[in-house]
Chains A and B, each alone.
Chain A
Amino acid sequence: MSVVRSLIKFNPQKLHKDQWGFHLVLLILSLFMLLPIVFIVNHAFKPFTELFAYPPTFFVKMPTLENFRLLINFSAESGIPASRYVFNSLFTTTLVILLTLLISSLAAYALSKLSFRGKHVFNKVNTLALMFVPIAVAIPRFLIIENLGIFNTYLAHIVPMLAMPIGIFLLKQFMDQVPDDLIEASKMDGAGNWRVYWNVMLPLVKPALVTVAILTFQASWGNSESSSIFMDDESLRTLPFYMNTLVAQSGNIVAGAGLAAVAGLVMFVPNIVLFIVLQNKVMDSMAHTGIK
């Protein structure tokens, strides 16, 4: 048996010289993946002279906060302060996350542990909807938003983000792992579906909730479509839209490249920080993502 064990190189505890090949490949690839991110970080801190230096430099030599200051001042010139876009983004993103978690976990609980007519079909349809490409139906969605009368309101940022098949899917798969006995036991004690959902289920599926929250955050934080398609009022538009227009305009202004790099960082950093902090929980719930 020990001979066999030594052949299995899978999920090892320690570094071993067998792994050198993997480390070499992974290291080179990681460095390569990281390169553009290192570049944008450096670019964001470059003073004007370095941004336009010839020969071009990759790393910043004299780091400065000039580009960050420029971003704040620049917004003042466009009439609406940057803080307004930040508020819009934070406000809508928070609501989207909370509502998505609530709606998705409720539905996932029903689809996983309750029995009702049409459950099987609904599960199938939802799994099929994983392949749904929202961008493809931008036009009908625009018509629906207009007819609902929520065009040009915060709701137009929020509502279209709430149907998230992947969220239901992840939560349902995770809930399937919770033993039925546990739920039966609580029901014996007189708990109704709501109490089981709230007191038993939700605490047990925290990793999956975290993952759905992260995915929702990414989708909502980076969503510029709702601002460009469902909004006319500039003061209701969100940060990614504003950053996009900044970047588009930045071609015309001298320090544009640095400004754009800062904008890129503002959109990217929250995403990756959240993932780093919560990656354990994410990996936990990812184990149950399989489609059968």
Chain B
Amino acid sequence: MGNNMRGKRQFKRSFYKLADSPYMFIFPYAALFSLLIVLPVAVAIGLSFTYFNTVQAPKFVGFQNYIDLFTGDTIFLQHAISNTLFYAVLVGPIGYMLAFFLAWMLSQVPHRIRTIYTVIIYSPSVTGSIMVTVVWKVLFSGDRTGYLNYWLMKMDIIQEPLQWLKSPELLVPIMIFIALWGSMGVGFLAMLAGLLNIDKTMYEAAYIDGIRNRWQEIFYITIPSMKPQMLFGAVMAIIGTFNASGVAATLSGGSPPPQYAGWMIVDHANDFGFTRFEMGYASAVTVVLLYIVILFNKISYKLFGEHE
């Protein structure tokens, strides 16, 4: 009887100990993280070495997919890679600098009006993909009833309506423009908050130490004091640019867009994966994309990370 009681108590105690263990807290997320982030990446890498059409079991083909991708896939080589890099190199840094510049200006106006500006500048980033179709397609519509065409013709800047969304030369700049318009999201907010939290005495000390102008102030005080937020903003900017897919097809009204203008690596992967069901090949495309994303992040960690 007494033994039984002790056993019960012991069981109870060890149960509490188990329930209170840190692993109980981390477990749900760790499981989901493994299932939804680690495993997909591993599966993508694994499948990229196979031929897999979703009906038959995957067949190991070694590096064949990568060899095909880098030697034979002209659409990938000439359009997907160059478009993605071009787009990322333009939208990423420009959007990033714009976000910093806007946040910097915002940090120097009074609170109430700053809130209004901030909401307005942030709002395009949450408009969603339907907005692209609705607003930009109508504004850039190619006939003379298109808003931009109408205004430009009225002002005698152009004589004939321009096919904004059907010509490859115009489609890509428009995509970049739209992306920049919608890029003032979480990263921008973080940078603004970072700016507002810089200790004022830092500036006072700097002015006493002989900082003479606002440029010096930005480079010697502001940016170094908010490096962690700058890095967060950079990471957000990078994901934002690589997340873009299907925009060109939406704007031009068909997939693939004319002459594969604005055709991204993600579009290429989805095309092979979900249209042609060549999952192995599509996975190889995905792996290349992930590698590029990591590369870009490495660069921003180099620039803004605090080196230990």
Binding site for B on A (CB under 8 A): 1, 4-5, 7-15, 19, 22-23, 25-26, 29-30, 33-34, 36-37, 39-40, 43, 52, 54-56, 58, 102-104, 106-107, 109-111, 114-116, 119, 122, 126, 128-133, 135-144, 159-160, 162-163, 165-166, 168, 192-194, 197, 215, 218, 222, 224, 229, 240, 243-244, 247, 251, 257, 260-261, 263-264, 267-268, 271-272, 275-276, 279, 282-284, 286-287, 289-292
**Given contacts A29-B121, A43-B138, A264-B130, could you give 19 more A-B pairs where the C-beta distance is less than 8 Å?**
A12-B108, A12-B109, A12-B110, A52-B145, A110-B22, A114-B22, A130-B235, A131-B297, A136-B266, A137-B41, A139-B279, A139-B283, A163-B33, A165-B37, A193-B25, A275-B123, A286-B186, A286-B189, A289-B193
Instruction: Give A99 to B196 CA distance when docked, in angstroms.
Output: 32
Question: How would residues 107 to 126 of chain B score, 1 for a CB under 8 Å from any chain A CB and 0 otherwise?
Answer: 11111010101111111101
Whole-angstrom CA separation of A193 from B101 in the bound complex: 43
**Cα of A114 to Cα of B203 in the assembled complex, Å:** 37
Number of interface residues of B (CB under 8 A): 105
B66: A residues at CB distance < 8 A: none
Q: Give Cα distance in the complex from A33 to B177, angstroms.
A: 11
Find chain B residues with CB under 8 A from A26 CB.
Answer: 102, 105-106, 109, 117
| Contact across chains for A264 and B128 when beta carbons are under 8 A apart | yes
**B107 contact from A10, A104, A160, Cβ within 8 A:** A10
Which applies to chain B's interface (DSSP): helix, strand, loop or mixed?
helix
11 CB < 8 A contacts A-B: A8-B204, A22-B108, A33-B123, A37-B127, A56-B150, A132-B239, A163-B37, A168-B29, A218-B126, A286-B192, A287-B193
Answer whether A116 and B28 are a contact pair too, CB < 8 Å, given A22-B108, A140-B43.
no
Q: Which of B237-286 contact A (CB under 8 A)?
A: 238-239, 242-243, 245, 253, 266, 269-270, 273-274, 279, 282-283, 286
Which A residues lie within 8 Å of B198 (CB)?
10
Q: In the complex, are the beta carbons of B120 and A39 less than 8 A apart? A: no
Distance in angstroms between the alpha carbons of A63 and B290 in the assembled complex: 48
Query: Which residues of A sit under 8 angstroms from B127, Cβ to Cβ?
Result: 36-37, 264, 267-268, 271
Known: A139-B273, A140-B40. A116 touches B242 (CB 8 A): no
Interface class of chain A by DSSP: helix
Nearest Cβ distance between residue A268 and chain B, in whole angstroms? Answer: 5
Evaluate contact between A140 and B47: CB separation under 8 angstroms: yes
- Once the chains bind, are B29 and A136 in contact (CB under 8 Å)? no
> Residues of A contacting B21 with CB < 8 Å?
116
Q: Is the CB of A290 within 8 A of B29?
A: no
CB distance from A248 to the nearest CB of B (A): 8
Docked CA distance A39–B123 (Å): 14
Residues in B with CB closer than 8 Å to A264 are 127-128, 130-131, 133-135
Q: Which 3 residue pairs of A and B lie closest in terms of their CB atoms, listed nearest first?
A: A290-B228, A107-B29, A286-B193
Cβ-closest chain B residue relative to A102: B28
| Closest B residue, CB atoms, query A12 | B110
Contacts of A283 in B (CB 8 A): 118, 189, 192-193, 196
Which residues of B does A touch, CB under 8 Å? 16, 19-23, 25-26, 28-30, 32-33, 35-37, 39-41, 43-44, 47, 102, 105-111, 113, 115, 117-124, 126-131, 133-136, 138-139, 144-147, 150, 154, 181, 184, 186, 189-190, 192-198, 200, 203-204, 207-208, 226-229, 231-232, 235-236, 238-239, 242-243, 245, 253, 266, 269-270, 273-274, 279, 282-283, 286, 289-290, 293-294, 297, 305-306
Known: A23-B109, A165-B37. A4 touches B130 (CB 8 A): no
Contacts of A286 in B (CB 8 A): 186, 189-190, 192-194
In the complex, how many angstroms separate the beta carbon of B277 from the nearest chain A beta carbon? 10
Quote the shortest CB–CB distance from B15 to chain A (angstroms): 12
Are A4 and B208 in contact, with the CB atoms below 8 A?
yes
